[in-house]
Amino acid sequence: MSHSIYEGGLRSWITTVDHKRIGVMYFVAAGVFFFIGGVEALLIRLQLGSPESTLISSDLYSQLFTMHGTTMVFLVVMPLGSAFFNFLIPLQIGARDVAFPRLNAFSFWIFLFAGLFLNSSFLFGGAPDAGWFGYANLTSTQYSAGIRIDFWVLGLSLLGVSSIASALNFIVTIINLRAPGMRLMRMPPFTWMTLITSFLMILAFPTITIGLVMLLFDRNFGTNFFNPAAGGDVLLWQHLFWIFGHPEVYILILPAFGVISEVIPTFSRKTLYGYPFIIYSGILIAFLGFGVWAHHMFAVGLGPIANSVFSAATMLIAIPTGVKIFNWIATMWGGRLRLDTPLYFAIGFITLFIIGGLSGVMHSSPPTDLQQTDTYFVVAHFHYVLFGGTVFALFAGLYYWIPKVTGRLLHEGLGKLHFWMMFISFNVTFFPMHYLGMHGMPRRTFTYLPGLGFDLMNLVSTAGSLVLGASMLVFVWNLMRSLRRGPPAGRNPWGAATLEWTLTSPPPHYNFRTIPEVRARDPLWREDGVELGPEDSTVPEPVMPSPSAWPIMLALGPVIAATGTLVSSLPMALAGLAVLVASIYGWAFQPLER
């Protein structure tokens, strides 16, 4: 891959403020964390492949399932979403970059450092081990001695900063940097979903930030936020966590809905059916998503009123979610379906998301949920929606947009092999878990006794997981092969409708030499849908923001401060604060373009 926008050594990557490069960095980092989280999952499955296995100790197992969840949610799916937001949003709205390019770079670097910080815990006394949800009061110093939980609290706090900064950036970008004529209801669905997701992020993360601060204080400064003996309520943690946690899962799925809402029309050669409904249902999901959090707490004993209200709200949110599926099918109906790999993954996504959504409806009924919650049934549910849903959809997006990023096509045969391996092994791995849950296997258990009927299904699931892991290698191979000798993609290999496909693959570093003027939705599919300006030297090359070292410097500050807090070193914490403050001033006094 020898295109000028990716050329340059380490220094040019470290100081880049180009959204396209930042997107690529997010993708690579997410890929590495996906590998780590995947290994954690495989170890879990190997341990559970047989009853009373002694392969993995209970202590290591607790770390594995905690880190698997934390990694997949915060270090894989969210950054992968960011990779897409970063590369695509300016291109889709006809802009040259995001509103705050240095803030964008900062978001990446603090995410990367936070991920490294969190994973370094394995080397320093053990990884966090109280689950990705860290319920009080198991996380108190009394029941979780050492610094594992502090690693978790500080790591997640840093990640929250990254997400909020990134979301703020995309909100301003989408609101304020659209090309002339790109009215809100002409924006691509992916851009819309990014906007909605960004609002969810800035509104949901503050709540968990407070919860994490309270936990940090309980553990390090002797407060009693979650200490029942002092009048504290351990359930406060659960409320704070899930008020964040539920919108979080919509943060994880809405970008996937956005991707599918572009892949399906493109490969059906037919415009998205019911575009307004898709947009409004996305907005409605975001609103309602803040009102269902206690459906994670149906077994806690909140009482019939709370349980009824949250049950009704949860069922309600199924409607805008499900309606999208009908819109997608209606888009394909009457179309001319080009069954390439992106469409395979989109169809696979719909199938698996229906299943995951339906098991979610089962969970929405508290009495039913009293048997299902905290068992392998819910493990099946969320893997169907998060993996079968988001991950499949993001793969559809990768196969769709990677040619735009690299300038080369991926191999169709390998793509379809990847799909079938992944689709089949995914179901073999996770479908049996519905039964395991209903037959009485709780989750987060490092082993189980024989004779309960769990043995065969666990073995089958483990076998599936190994093939699932292997299927990822097919994708990696495809990508490597394509980078070396994939055929040139050209500007619009799929005949798609949105603005990014008017540019070269990959685009020049300024994206649009002349900002286009948009006249319709699906601009490339309409007569006179867009007016593109000259790309040649009749127009002077746009001046772009200069590279800057301040974003990575600023990202170091909080990480140093966090490390200082972790090891109870006030000097180090203050040093981190000093780096933070100095970097802010350095940044503020450095002009954006030089």
Partner 1 sequence: MNEASRGRCTVPWRNLFAILVVALIAAGCGGPYAQSAMQPASEIAQRLQDLFETIFWWAVAVFVIVQGALVVTVLKFRAGRRQDAVHSPKHVHGNTLVELAWTLAPAVVLVIIAVPTISTIWEVDLPTTDPDALVIEVVGHQWWWEFRYPELDIVTANEFHIPQGRMIDLRLTSADVIHSFWIPRLAGKRDVVPGRENILWFAADSVGIFIGQCAEFCGLSHALMKLEVVVDAPAEFASWARRQGRPAESLDEGDPLAALAAEGKDVMMRAGCIACHRIDGTPAQGVLGPDLSHVGSRRTIAAGILENTPENVERWLRNPGAVKPGALMPDLQLTEEDVRSLTAYLSSLK
Partner 2 sequence: MDMHPTTTGVPNRKVLMWTFIGSECMLFGTLIASYLAYRGRSVVGPYPEELVNIPFITVTTFVLLMSSLAMVLALSAVQRGDRRGTIIWLAATAVLGLIFLGGQYLEFSHFVHEGLGLSRNLFSATFYLLTGTHGAHVLIGVIWLSSLLGMELRGNLGAEKAEIVEVAGLYWHFVDVVWIVLFTVIYLLV
Tell me which residues are annotated as active site: 68, 97, 132, 162-163, 246, 248, 250, 261, 295-296, 321, 324, 443
Pick the piece of the chain touching partner 2 (CB under 8 A) from 62-70, 113-121, 176-184, 351-359. 176-184
CB of 228 to partner 2, least distance (A): 10
Size of the residue set binding partner 1 (CB under 8 A):
102
HSE (side-chain half, CA atoms, 13 Å) at 406: 22
Say whether residue 217 binds partner 2 (CB under 8 A).
yes
State the pairing for strand pair 530-531/517-518: antiparallel
For partner 1, the binding residue among 125, 180, 228, 533 (CB under 8 A) is: 228
Window 347-386: contact mask with partner 1 (x via CB under 8 A): x--xx--xx--xx-xx-xxxxxxxxxxxx-----------
125 touches partner 1 by CB under 8 A: no
Residue 585: which of partner 1, partner 2, none does it interact with, CB under 5 to 8 A by kind? partner 2
Among 55, 203, 330, 459, binds partner 1 (CB under 8 A): 330
Cross-strand bridge partners of residue 518: 530
96 binds, among partner 2, partner 1, none (CB under 5 to 8 A by kind): partner 2
Toward partner 2, which CB reaches closer, 305 or 588? 588
* Residue 95 in contact with partner 2, rule: CB under 8 A: yes
Q: Which of 8, 31, 126, 131 binds partner 1 (CB under 8 A)?
A: 131
Determine, following the binding rule CB under 8 A, whether residue 432 of this chain makes contact with partner 1: yes
Q: Which stretch binds partner 2 (CB under 8 A): 97-105, 262-270, 386-394, 531-539?
A: 97-105
Interior/surface letters 74-111, b for 16+ CB within 10 angstroms, e for the rest:
bbbbbbbbbbbbbbbbbbbbbbbbbbbbbbbbbbbbbb
- Between CA 422 and CA 395 the distance in angstroms is 11
Neighbours of 164 (CB within 10 A): 19
Angle between helices 376-383 and 412-438 (to 10 degrees): 160
CB 189 within 8 A of CB 275: yes
Question: Where in 477-536 is the site for partner 1 (CB under 8 A)?
Answer: 522, 525
Residue 19 contacts residue 43 (beta carbons within 8 Å): no
Per CB under 8 A, 223 contacts partner 1? no
Tell me the CA end-to-end span of the chain in Å, nearest whole number.
28
DSSP three-state, residue 437: helix
171: contact with partner 2 by CB under 8 A: yes
Residue 100 binds partner 2 (CB under 8 A):
yes
The span from the CA of 359 to the CA of 349, in Å, is 15
Contacting partner 2 (CB under 8 A), which of 116, 168, 283, 424?
Answer: 168
Q: How far apart (Å, rounded) are the C-alpha atoms in residues 281 and 363?
A: 21
Question: From the list partner 2, partner 1, none, which binds 500 (C-beta under 5 to 8 Å, kind-based)?
Answer: none
Name which of residues 46 to 65 contact partner 1 (CB under 8 A): 57-59, 62
Site for partner 1 in 392-421 (CB under 8 A): 420
Task: Name the residue among 554, 589, 592, 558 with its Cα closest to residue 573.
Answer: 558
Stretch binding partner 2 (CB under 8 A), from 12-20, 41-49, 170-178, 279-287: 170-178
The tokens describing 9, both together, are 């050594």
Strands (E), 367-410: none
Q: Is 35 in the site for partner 1 (CB under 8 A)?
A: no
Q: Tell me how far, at minimum, the Cβ of 50 lies from partner 2, in Å.
A: 45
Between 515 and 555, CB nearer to partner 2: 515
**DSSP state, 531?**
E
Q: How far is CA 138 from CA 121, 124, 225, 293, in A?
A: 19, 21, 13, 21
- C-alpha R_g of the chain: 24
The interface with partner 2 within residues 507-536 (CB under 8 A) comprises: 510, 515
Per-residue binder mask for partner 1 (CB under 8 A), 136-155, x = binder = -xx----x------------
Which residue lies nearer to partner 1 by CB, 439 or 481? 439
Q: Is residue 221 packed enough to be buried (19+ CB in 10 Å), middle (13-18) or exposed (0-12)? A: exposed
Phi-psi region of 94 (alpha: psi -120 to 50; beta: other; left: phi over 0): left
Q: Are 72 and 247 in contact (CB under 8 A)?
A: no
Cα 498 to Cα 192, 449, 510, distances in angstroms: 13, 55, 18
Question: What CA–CA distances, in Å, run from 400 to 20, 35, 59, 198, 312?
Answer: 16, 22, 42, 23, 38
Contact positions with partner 2 (CB under 8 A) in 219-278 = 221-225, 229-233, 236, 240, 243
- Nearest approach in angstroms of CB 204 to partner 2 is 8
- The piece of 39-47, 168-176, 475-483, 551-559 that touches partner 2 (CB under 8 A) is 168-176
| Binding segment (CB under 8 A) for partner 2, from list 31-39, 213-221, 339-347, 461-469 | 213-221
Determine which helix (DSSP H) or strand (DSSP E) holds 530, and give its type and residue range. strand 530-531
C-alpha 392/C-alpha 472 separation (Å) is 12
Residue 269 touching partner 1 (CB under 8 A)? yes
183 lies in the site for partner 1, by CB under 8 A? no
396 Cβ contact partners less than 8 Å away, ≥ 6 residues apart: 259, 260, 263, 342, 343, 344, 345, 346, 349
**Among the listed residues 178, 95, 87, 85, the one whose alpha carbon sits nearest the alpha carbon of residue 512:** 95
Nearer to partner 1, 126 or 206 (CB): 126
Q: Is 569 in the site for partner 2 (CB under 8 A)?
A: no
Nearer to partner 2 (CB atom), residue 170 or residue 400: 170
Instruction: Write phi, then psi, for 138 (nearest 5 degrees).
Output: -60, -30
Return left, alpha or beta for 270; rule: phi > 0 is left, psi -120 to 50 is alpha, else beta: beta
Among 1, 28, 145, 319, binds partner 1 (CB under 8 A): 319
Question: According to the binding rule CB under 8 A, does residue 126 interact with partner 1?
Answer: no
Q: Please select the residue that binds partner 2; options are 146, 180, 413, 490, rule is CB under 8 A.
A: 180
Stretch touching partner 2 by CB under 8 A, among 4-12, 370-378, 441-449, 537-545: 537-545
Task: Give the one entry of partner 1, partner 2, none that residue 335 binds, where binding means its C-beta sits below a cut-off of 5 to 8 angstroms depending on kind.
Answer: partner 1
Among residues 335 and 542, whose Cβ is nearest to partner 1?
Answer: 335
Residues at the contact surface with partner 2, assessed by CB under 8 A: 95-97, 99-100, 164, 168-169, 171-172, 175-180, 182, 202-207, 209-211, 213-214, 217, 221-225, 229-233, 236, 240, 243, 510, 515, 542-545, 585, 588, 592-593
